[in-house]
Homo-oligomer: A and B are copies of this chain.
């Protein structure tokens, strides 16, 4: 489906970095869900570059909801959110050599040179603003149903954050942090490492760890629309994500079965597991434990060093030193994008299972 994701609740994405507007259309939201524009704005702020470790580009993100919301609530029909591109300096972005690590060369191969190459065009991280605006509505709807999503920077520039300890405290706290770590001292160390990389005209990557608490057991549609399949699908759509693992993920490959299996017990008539190495998912279906996953985020490809590349128009080798405003790290900004796509994908699985009105508030 190219730029539309989902089965019962779908999101459609459009726009280019330097086009007039970017946007998203969310379809399949139950009627009656409150839409809080301040909340959407605050989520967009988390995505927006800020401070020394982000690009200097300032985007107002003055979004407009032009359909599907009436008297402050969803109507049940498509919600279209538009975000104009305000601060676009096209002079910085003429077609030139392909930037290594970006989609420049693959877009050229795919679109035969007709693509809007300015600032990465449709493949710019800029487009994630529309995903975040859409995701904000989904995050709020899930929260209202007792389902909380939170992501921290589990690792950045080789420095580990503290692990999750108590999700009921961790998740609400994480969301408001511009640089979402559980241990602020380690976060400070991460930011210093990012600044050091920036000083060396370089960039760093990291790992995002996400927890979803409150999901009922029995969600996911094996074989092919398992929770892991659907989440990984949309997580790999987030630019720079190159790996996704659930529960202990790759570490499970080195465990024995006696350690990897989560022992099951009962509490108040409900089963739970005493460990959560499987990340809340067995056989592709939620088991009622928190869903836990981690995304590998590669370092920002745009760096201010000379790089070996080719010029697709000329068909020749060349070198490139990228100028302009770029982030030495994007892992902290990608965090809210990961939360957003997670919420959208889970809303889809939930309404597919429980019906289109499930997200609506109780009357």
Contacts and interface: CB of A to CB of B under 8 A. Distances in A.
A15 B115 contact: no
Among A273, A282, A309, chain B packs the most CB atoms within 10 A around the CB of A282
A252 B25 contact: no
A103 B283 contact: yes
A56 interface: no
Task: Bin chain A's interface residue count.
Answer: 35 or more
A285 B106 contact: yes
Contact of A80 (B2, B14, B68, B100): B14
A299 B358 CA distance: 37
Interface in A283-326: 283-288, 296-303, 305, 307-310, 312, 315-317
Nearest to A68: B14
Contacts of A269: 315
Contacts of A79: 14
A243 B244 contact: yes
Given A19-B67, A98-B264, A111 B76 contact: yes
Interface stretch (A38-46, A137-145, A196-204): A196-204
A221 interface: yes
A68 to B, nearest CB: 7
A110 B308 contact: no
A27 B8 contact: no
Interface in A226-269: 226, 228-230, 232-237, 239, 241-258, 260-266, 269
Contacts of A310: 264-266, 271
Contact of A242 (B4, B98, B241, B245): B245
By Cβ-Cβ distance, the 8 closest A-B pairs, closest first, are: A103-B283, A243-B245, A203-B257, A31-B114, A106-B285, A355-B355, A263-B308, A101-B261
21 contacts: A3-B77, A4-B4, A12-B12, A75-B111, A77-B115, A101-B261, A101-B278, A103-B285, A106-B218, A197-B256, A204-B256, A232-B244, A236-B246, A239-B283, A242-B278, A250-B296, A252-B298, A257-B299, A258-B307, A260-B299, A264-B317
